[in-house]
Amino acid sequence: MKNGLKVGLAGVGTVGGGLVKLLATRGDSLAARAGRPIELVAVSTLAHRKNPDADISSFRLVKNPVALAQDPEIDVFVELMGGEGGIAKESVEAALRAGKHVVTANKALLAHHGYSLATLAEKNGVALNFEGAVAGGIPVVKVIRESLKGNDISRVYGILNGTCNYILTQMEREGMAFADVLKEAQKQGYAEADPTFDIGGFDTAHKLALLTSLAFGTRTSFDSIYIEGIESITPADIEAADDLGYRIKLLGVALRTESGIEQRVHPTMVPKQSAIAEVDGVSNCVAIDGDFVGDVMLIGLGAGGGPTASAVVSDIIDIARGHVLPPFGTRSKDLKPYKKAQMRAHEGGYYIRLSVYDRTGAFAAIASRMAAQGISIESIVQHRSRAGLAGSDRTHKGSAAHVVMITHQTTEAAVRKALAAIERDGHVDSKPQMIRIEKL
């Protein structure tokens, strides 16, 4: 058997701790699969953030991650600290310049700096592997980068954040408000104390930026992604979706069009009979549409110490076998600059919920505003929601009722202009809700 592959690990949090345990418990079998032993020899971690579940006492401790990245005794630098810049970026760059292979699960770092880091890795003839950065234990990076290279991919989309999927699942099952489910998710460890990164859609967007580059051979362009979180979703929306035959999911969608690439993150109504509608709780899924393979969907645990450590180990084993590919499947010099798609009509149409004052002329005014923007309505339903109208102003303007409209295909700009005018007219007692309906 070949000499051991020596690994340095920076970051011993949830994922780093999972990696330490996996290497310790599966050492012999991993060596057999890799063709050589995989040896964790040095660790860098902040003293106040040590993982009590991961025993690192037998490893050499290196205080500075950059020093570890340049350490002559390691072959692979594993970065699990997180963060789009700072010490994570400095240490990864240092490792690549020193001719060390790098494995990371840091989606924020790669979403913002993936192109420059890939260029640096290729220049120095080393790997930059990141299977754990997208959808945890789901092997989607390898599937797109290797297994589907014979295909032209037209679309990649999915549920990429377990926290949001858990919240939306519980809102549907228990009829709870968003804020109440969020508190429950925080108690159970599914959501951070500051959940903005997850519920605001930014975590999903970082992962989508990587999937876009892998699928379409473009440079990462995080700033081009339209991002909308789930904070505005109410029990009334969940209820209306159910009545209409849909479930609400936070999706990341990247789509090739004639004018460029469309990237968006937003709550979406998906048909109940679709496979993605059945992905509940903290699970993730990624769907890929290829011209020869057809539609492929991968489902599994998208986060956590075990699943993500599994992905990190698979990247390390590839390196141990001498399997080094361009990080994004295409050489960095051949990655095309990202070209944002022109605005077009959304084929699935839109769900619109208005809380309308029950008074003469309100509905006529709303219909007029829609018509002015060329919006055709497929269906309209007026009802008093079982979820209630908590927080509505009914003092001097009369009672309000929910009006749910489904549009035919139209542009988002048209819908937003119409809703802004409706709100200015004073016929609604709260901000209008708009959710895309996706054809899957």
For the stretch 192-201, pLDDT in tens is 889 999 999 9
Within this chain, do residues 89 and 26 fall inside the same structural domain, yes or no?
A: yes
Within this chain, do residues 182 and 71 fall inside the same structural domain, yes or no?
A: no
| Total Cβ atoms within 10 A of residue 431 | 11
Within this chain, do residues 103 and 152 fall inside the same structural domain, yes or no?
A: no
Q: How many domains does the chain have?
A: 3
- Is the predicted pLDDT of residue 49 greater than 90, yes or no? no
Alpha-helix runs per DSSP H in 14-129: 14-25, 27-34, 65-69, 86-97, 107-123
Within this chain, do residues 381 and 425 fall inside the same structural domain, yes or no?
A: yes
Half-sphere exposure of 236 (CA within 13 A, CB side): 24
Mean pLDDT of 186-195: 87
**109-120 tens-digit pLDDT:** 999 999 999 999
The tokens describing 399, both together, are 């009672």
Within this chain, do residues 152 and 273 fall inside the same structural domain, yes or no?
A: yes
Mean pLDDT of 207-228: 97
Which of 421, 406, 426 lies closest to 361, judged by CA?
426
Alpha-helix runs per DSSP H in 26-106: 27-34, 65-69, 86-97
Within this chain, do residues 32 and 150 fall inside the same structural domain, yes or no?
A: no
Which of 428, 275, 285, 267 lies closest to 350, judged by CA?
267
**243-293 tens-digit pLDDT:** 999 999 999 999 999 999 999 999 999 999 999 999 999 999 999 999 999
**357-380 tens-digit pLDDT:** 988 888 899 999 999 999 999 988
The one catalytic residue among 6, 100, 107, 207: 207
Residue 310 domain flag = no
Q: Is 397 a catalytic residue?
A: no
Within this chain, do residues 285 and 375 fall inside the same structural domain, yes or no?
A: no
Within this chain, do residues 292 and 366 fall inside the same structural domain, yes or no?
A: no
How far is the CA of 71 from the CAs of 37, 56, 129, 286, in angstroms? Answer: 19, 18, 19, 37
The DSSP bridge partners found for residue 189 are none
Coil, helix or strand for 385? Answer: coil
Q: How far apart are CA 407 and CA 276, in angstroms?
A: 22
- Is the predicted pLDDT of residue 53 greater than 80, yes or no? no
Q: Which residues contact 344 (CB under 8 A, 6 or more apart)?
A: 257, 259, 411
Within this chain, do residues 215 and 120 fall inside the same structural domain, yes or no?
A: no
Within this chain, do residues 358 and 286 fall inside the same structural domain, yes or no?
A: no
**390-409 tens-digit pLDDT:** 444 444 455 778 889 999 99
Domain extent at residue 223: 146-301
Mean pLDDT of 120-144: 96
Which of 141, 85, 78, 173 lies closest to 288, judged by CA?
141
Lowest mean pLDDT among 74-78, 131-135, 295-299, 360-364: 360-364
Within this chain, do residues 115 and 159 fall inside the same structural domain, yes or no?
A: no
DSSP 425: H
> Are the C-beta atoms of 211 and 138 separated by less than 8 Å?
no
pLDDT value at residue 144 = 97
- Is the predicted pLDDT of residue 35 greater than 90, yes or no? yes
How far is the CA of 18 from the CAs of 45, 67, 294, in angstroms? Answer: 14, 23, 35
Last residue of a domain, one of 262, 284, 301: 301
Lowest mean pLDDT among 46-50, 134-138, 300-304, 361-365: 46-50
The DSSP bridge partners found for residue 301 are 283
Within this chain, do residues 286 and 385 fall inside the same structural domain, yes or no?
A: no
Which of 21, 38, 17 lies closest to 319, judged by CA?
38
Mean pLDDT of 306-335: 96
The tokens describing 286, both together, are 């990624």
pLDDT value at residue 391 = 41
- Is the predicted pLDDT of residue 241 greater than 90, yes or no? yes
DSSP 332: G
CATH code, 423: 3.30.70.260
